[in-house]
Structure 1
């Protein structure tokens, strides 16, 4: 049975790009663009390796996928529905040069914009996955103990991600002695009285991003409430049509407005759009790309010992949080229930 697909609308976006550039076809070669076009097909082996397939979209809208010979059968039977797949020897170039064709990597900003506004099928897939990921991460977080090592917790997180049919992209676990580390890659350090857990996981090509904080007898964190206000300001600033650099400027001001210091935003990157890339892009000062209606975001304001992060979709009429765990304690922030620090002791 053929799976639901948004592919015709995606091909139409590529055709518009071809018309604008006077090209006869587009050769799609990057992992994020292939996953987007091919409904989340797994196109890399290993996970972070180069794609084992390419795709060609003609000006007329015809789609052809080329796969290495040792991947073609798997792609036909496990990854792609109703797609013409041609096979080339495993030692050949899967995406040779074609005169008159445009490569997706030649127009990265155009392709990022093409991916930005999520279509109905991919949005439903993403929402379901984000909810499932939040529940699994929450279950692991609720079971942490002081004597656990960061690696113990990370191993459980990776196992739960795999059970969802997803791939781990980022797994961060920062225990009590490492709360000042912005990206706490797991170590043998014990969890102690406080832990910050952050996970990025990919399924159907799309990445769910979330952070949860657990206290096991630690004192209340003085900046946590202020950080939630910064996050709320970030969401309020993320409006369709606004340049991302302007949104980042508003976030920087929010740190100072809520008592965290004028330079606090410089301690860590603040996140940005997400979806087929963890940060698409990670927003830098002066970024001119604009917010699109229906675009996914994962802002991640940070202060030492605390972080706020969830995956959301920004629509013209508001923001929808996707990584919701109904079993996690919440606090109301401007009418929106946001994850609170879980108190286990």
Structure 2
């Protein structure tokens, strides 16, 4: 079928931030990939890649579903192919200037239509996953600013919600309050976890009707403008035990070792090897790393990617990370940015109690 292209923005559109400079840089990075691979176009199909390239445009309806559009980037322009029932909203509210929108009937395949727009066959996103990951490693100043603001707001929401809970509060009520604040800040709650005292053994505790009891953990992964903030916090009601204090100190020491290794030029597999050793050094045993993923680069995906012994990407300046070392009953997690001055913690609320660990203020357990 033949599509009728539509301009991405008209004079009646709701005002949005000027994304021209950001988009130009990202388009240049894609052109470099096309030059290296000898192709004339790239077909983007994932939410992570498209929201990065389009400056945070929301291309989803269901958080659990596939994007409602695909993007063909060629040497002349950007072509967004979407269903006719999505096109007007995307044009008026989401897309940066200059994107040509191709509406197709809702019952047609947007992927097939996009492929027919490209001659010759476009480069598939799946064939250059590593290259695209490298392209989005270094955050631009506007991205770092938006990301820092989101992380601050998520950290504040954590303080607001957890300061008000009590031992009888249900895990689901904690998640509901956090979700309301995330939506109110214009973000999307991708992950909401909470465990009370009786479920503290679970590393990924989906909330239940169980009460918090004397000690609880909450985890939020919230997305806005395509970027994902990841934060974990703990609350306790009747004082700490010596064993709890000891474990909290040791897991913070593991994180400090990871931060110290996160420097420009370091390879992620080398950092991962250091993480495994750090668990043993700090009394968690040599196998603790096997029980939960350790985090990794962050930004337009919760982890971009999760670091393993096979991840050989190199760390760059202005790259975001969320490391999350954990042990029995303990976990520490914040989103950080690697700057020329070192690791900068983004998810900070000055009201939350902290302790100094290797020169950085790190979150302590909130005692109520």
In structure 2, distance between residues paired with 1:105 and 1:44: 20
- Where does residue 75 of structure 1 map in the other structure? 90
Who is 1:109 aligned against?
130
Separation (CA, whole Å) in 2 of partners of 1:246 and 1:134? 30
Match of 1:25 among 41, 56, 79: 41
Structure 1's 178 and 2: CA in aligned 2 closer, same or farther, altered over 3 A?
A: closer
How many angstroms apart in 1 are the aligned matches of 2:64 and 2:225?
15
Shift of 1:218: 4.7
Deviation at 1:66, TM superposition (A): 1.9
Return 5+ residue gaps in structure 2 as ranges.
Answer: 1-14
Q: Give the aligned partner of residue 9 of structure 2.
A: none
2:272 aligned partner: 248
Q: 2:78 corresponds to which residue? A: 63
Per the alignment, residue 236 of structure 2 pairs with: 215
1:88 partnered with 2:133: no
- Is the Cα–Cα contact under 8 Å of residues 151 and 347 in structure 2 kept in the other structure? yes
Give me the whole-angstrom Cα distance separating, in 2, the residues matched to 1:189 and 1:95.
44
Aligned to 2:286: 262
1:321 aligns with 2:337: no
Alignment pair present for 1:296 and 2:317: no
1:171 aligns with 2:192: yes
Whether the aligned pair in 1 keeps the contact of 2:54 and 2:96 (CA below 8 Å) is no
TM-score by length of 1: 0.96
1:229 is matched with 253
Alignment partners' CA distance in 2, 1:70 and 1:317: 48
Question: Matched residue of 2:32: which SS?
Answer: helix
Residues 227-283 of structure 1: CA deviation (Å, up to 9, x unaligned)? 111111111111222221110111111111122222222221111111111111111
DSSP 3-state at the match of 2:209: coil
Over the residues paired in the alignment, what is the CA RMSD in angstroms?
1.3
Which one of the candidate residues 307, 325, 332 is aligned to 1:283? 307
1:130, distance to aligned residue in structure 2 (A): 0.8
In 2, are the aligned partners of 1:30 and 1:105 still within 8 Å (CA)?
no
Match of 2:10 in 1: none
2:164 alignment counterpart: 143
Matched, 1:202 2:220: no
What are the Cα deviations for residues 155-175 of structure 1, in whole angstroms up to 9, with x where unaligned? 111111111111111111010
SS of the counterpart of 2:58? coil
Q: SS at 1:202's partner residue?
A: strand
Cα displacement (A) at 1:86: 2.0
Structure 1, unaligned runs of 5 or more: none
Deviation at 1:122, TM superposition (A): 1.2
Residue equivalent to 1:11: 27
What SS does the corresponding residue of 1:223 show, helix, strand or coil?
Answer: helix
SS at match of 1:57: strand
Q: 1:300 Cα deviation (Å)? A: 0.3
Paired residues of 2:337 and 2:345 also in contact (CA < 8 A): yes
- Corresponding residue of 1:123: 144
Mapped partners of 2:206, 2:26: distance in 1? 36
